[in-house]
Amino acid sequence: MQILTLLVSSALISAIVSGVVAGLFSLHALQTQYRNEYYKRVLENRIIEAYARLERLIGLFKTSVADYDNRLYHLVFVDGGDKLLIHRSIIEIQSVALWISDEAFEASRELNLLMFSLPEDAEKTKAFAKDRYQMIATAREKLERVVSNDMLTLYNVPQFLKVKGRRTRGFEFVNLPTQTPNIQATP
């Protein structure tokens, strides 16, 4: 009888211990699965929502044309430029700033600051684009480098979230020109 009690109690203890261990492993697996699903969604938002928009902005300033005077300017400024497209692209990036690196945001902001004084007149826009061709191209190249570097570590969601959580930079005042610079249209 004592052996039977010992066997039953051993089997019962073994079943309880194995159930607890299996439950703990199952709970850990569910938590890991939940965290991985969360990271997957963050990564999807970063790639689909944010970095695709950055790529479109880069694309706007990627192609250049030469005018009759052999001065280069970006294709987006032909015929007075598609100002709405330019500003909409920049605004879309500002709206997903949470999902991009601080460096990518700052690089896109440089392009934004360059576009603040974009004239309304088509000829002045072309002159603006020619005069600022190098500055715009340099800002676009910087943004492109930052995005390329980000792609190397895009998968590291915990590190991205940790860095985003530490951002302490606040509002930064920007001095805008009081009027559009005097840009002479070339005949």
Contacts 24+ apart (CB under 8 A), 74-83: 74/129, 74/133, 74/136, 74/137, 77/125, 77/126, 77/128, 77/129, 78/126, 79/122, 80/121, 80/122, 80/123, 80/125, 80/126, 81/118, 81/122, 81/125, 81/126, 81/129, 83/118, 83/120, 83/125
| Most confident of the ranges 38-42, 103-107, 169-173 | 103-107
Amino acid 41: pLDDT: 84
Amino acid 155: pLDDT: 84
Amino acid 175: pLDDT: 67
Q: How far apart are CA 108 and CA 98, in angstroms?
A: 13
pTM given for the model: 0.72
* Integer angstrom CA distances of residue 162 from 107, 117, 168: 21, 36, 12
**Structure confidence by residue, pLDDT tens digits, 144-161:** 999 999 989 888 888 887
pLDDT tier, 181 (very low <50, low <70, confident <90, very high otherwise): very low
Residue 94 token pair: 């500002």
As a whole number, mean pLDDT of residues 163-179 equals: 63
**Structure confidence by residue, pLDDT tens digits, 41-55:** 878 878 888 899 999
pLDDT tier, 176 (very low <50, low <70, confident <90, very high otherwise): low
